[in-house]
């Protein structure tokens, strides 16, 4: 298998593979039941394929995702570039603010991230709050102090809000943005990706498969497990109408996915990843992978060439540039 291309992650100077792995589903939680052994096997398969970037968060499965990644890193920490997030635990919805309202609380919170990960540092720490709340300055100062201590090498924010990103990068030290971007959600193309290019901010794309919609495995009668947050797509008329519209777009994409020579045969999911990684502002994509097979299929997409102008024109006709809708905010 060919070697995965690497790119510099903004001003962090970290050399990351064009494809990483998102570990939201690891440990279960909002994606229904998962198997720890399969999650660990997927991480092993990622390493074997040359992937070096692993993204998690304190809130994923109540910390279980970080714990699993910590187990996987034992004895080989140098092979992992770790990005984690903090902010949503104990979030006060009524007041619209995170529990980390002082620098000291924020720094202590990151220490719990490190404890679960069984490491003394992470390469990237990110604010998981997707909008500007009264604690934004606390996060920036706390991250910078941790950076000075060597406990984080770079910091960034997870958001689809351009104004919040600009505020977070007020002194020019923000190194990364994690944002939702896919064929079904091209809103980042309007302004946010250009801003990142102009300010040397590395772009980490979450949701490149639109939480599974762009795999083509869902139909109008799909049922989600009671613990799966995606049940919202089918439980209310408004959400269901949007979901049905997305499924119709996926059907229009199927011929494009198959319209290749046998040597370049690809799945819908691979087309979706190829689309995201074709954008010059994108540093890497972090699709989830619960199993080794899913991981290996994702890697194949990272080895495909950029989309052609003709293929992009077909996608533009289905979802116009800068259009679509946010699948998941943060």
Which whole number is the average pLDDT over 212-229? 82
Residue 219 covered by a domain = yes
Distance of alpha carbon 159 from alpha carbon 126, whole angstroms? 10
pLDDT number for residue 262: 40
Q: What dihedral angle (degrees, nearest 10) is formed by the CA atoms of 109, 115, 119, 125?
A: -20
Which two three-digit tokens encode residue 133?
A: 């709340």
Instruction: Give the global pTM.
Output: 0.92
State pLDDT tens for residues 164-215. 999 999 999 999 999 999 999 999 999 999 999 999 999 999 999 998 899 9
pLDDT number for residue 259: 63
Residue 327 covered by a domain = no
Distance of alpha carbon 208 from alpha carbon 230, whole angstroms? 16
Residue 1 covered by a domain = no
Q: Domain limits at 11?
A: 6-318
Residue 44 covered by a domain = yes
Which whole number is the average pLDDT over 95-108? 90
Contact (CB, 8 A) for 146 and 125: yes
State pLDDT tens for residues 124-173. 999 998 888 888 999 999 999 999 999 999 999 999 999 999 999 999 99
Task: Name the average pLDDT for the chain.
Answer: 90
Structural domain count of the chain: 1
Residue 301 covered by a domain = yes
Residue 208 covered by a domain = yes
Which whole number is the average pLDDT over 78-85? 98
Cα end-to-end span (Å), the chain: 33
What one-character DSSP code corresponds to residue 228? B
Buried b (16+ CB within 10 A) or exposed e, 70-88: bebbeeeeeebbbbbbbbb
Residue 31 confidence (pLDDT) above 70: no
pLDDT number for residue 260: 56
What one-character DSSP code corresponds to residue 63? G
Residue 324 covered by a domain = no
Residue 234 confidence (pLDDT) above 80: no
Contact (CB, 8 A) for 203 and 193: yes
Which two three-digit tokens encode residue 231?
A: 């049940």
State pLDDT tens for residues 38-69. 889 999 999 999 999 999 999 998 899 999 99
Strand spans (E) along the chain: 6-8, 15-17, 21-22, 53-55, 81-86, 122-127, 152-158, 176-180, 202-206, 282-285
In this structure, the number of other CB atoms found within 10 A of the CB of residue 172 comes to 10
- Residue 241's domain is classified under what CATH number? 3.20.20.100
Q: Provide the annotated active-site residues.
A: 60
Q: Checking DSSP bridges between strand 53-55 and strand 122-127, what pairing results, if any? A: unpaired
pLDDT number for residue 61: 84
Distance of alpha carbon 317 from alpha carbon 225, whole angstroms? 34
Query: What residues does 126 pair with on adjacent strands?
Result: 85, 156
State pLDDT tens for residues 248-279. 999 999 999 886 544 457 899 999 999 999 99
């Amino acid at each position: 298998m060919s070697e995965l291309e690497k790119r510099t992650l903004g001003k962090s100077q970290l050399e990351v593979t064009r494809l990483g792995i998102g570990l939201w589903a690891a440990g279960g939680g909002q994606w229904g039941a998962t198997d720890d052994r399969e999650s660990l096997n997927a991480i092993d398969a990622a390493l074997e394929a040359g992937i070096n970037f692993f993204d998690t968060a304190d809130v994923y499965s109540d910390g279980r995702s970080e714990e699993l990644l910590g187990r996987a890193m034992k004895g080989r920490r140098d092979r992992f570039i770790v990005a984690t997030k903090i902010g949503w635990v104990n979030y006060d919805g009524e007041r619209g603010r995170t529990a980390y309202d002082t620098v000291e609380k924020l720094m202590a919170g990151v220490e719990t991230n490190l404890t679960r990960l069984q490491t003394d540092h992470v390469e990237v720490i990110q604010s998981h709050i997707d909008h500007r709340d009264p604690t934004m300055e606390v996060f920036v100062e706390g991250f910078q102090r941790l950076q000075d201590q060597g406990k984080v090498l770079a910091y960034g924010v997870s958001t689809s809000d351009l104004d919040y990103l600009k505020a977070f990068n007020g002194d020019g030290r923000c190194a990364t943005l994690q944002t939702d971007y896919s064929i079904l959600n091209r809103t980042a193309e309007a302004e946010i990706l250009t801003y990142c290019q102009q300010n040397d901010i590395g772009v980490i794309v979450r949701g490149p498969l639109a939480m599974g919609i762009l795999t083509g495995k869902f139909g109008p009668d799909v049922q989600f497990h009671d613990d799966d947050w995606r049940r919202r797509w089918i439980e209310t008329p408004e959400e269901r109408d949007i979901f049905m519209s997305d499924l119709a777009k996926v059907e229009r994409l199927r011929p494009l996915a198959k319209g290749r020579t046998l040597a370049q045969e690809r799945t819908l999911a691979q087309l979706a990843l190829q689309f995201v990684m074709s954008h010059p502002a994108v540093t890497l994509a972090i699709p989830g992978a619960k199993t080794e097979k899913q991981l290996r299929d994702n890697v194949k997409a990272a080895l495909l060439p950029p989309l052609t102008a003709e293929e992009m024109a077909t996608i533009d006709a289905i979802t116009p540039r800068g259009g679509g809708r946010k699948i998941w905010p943060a």
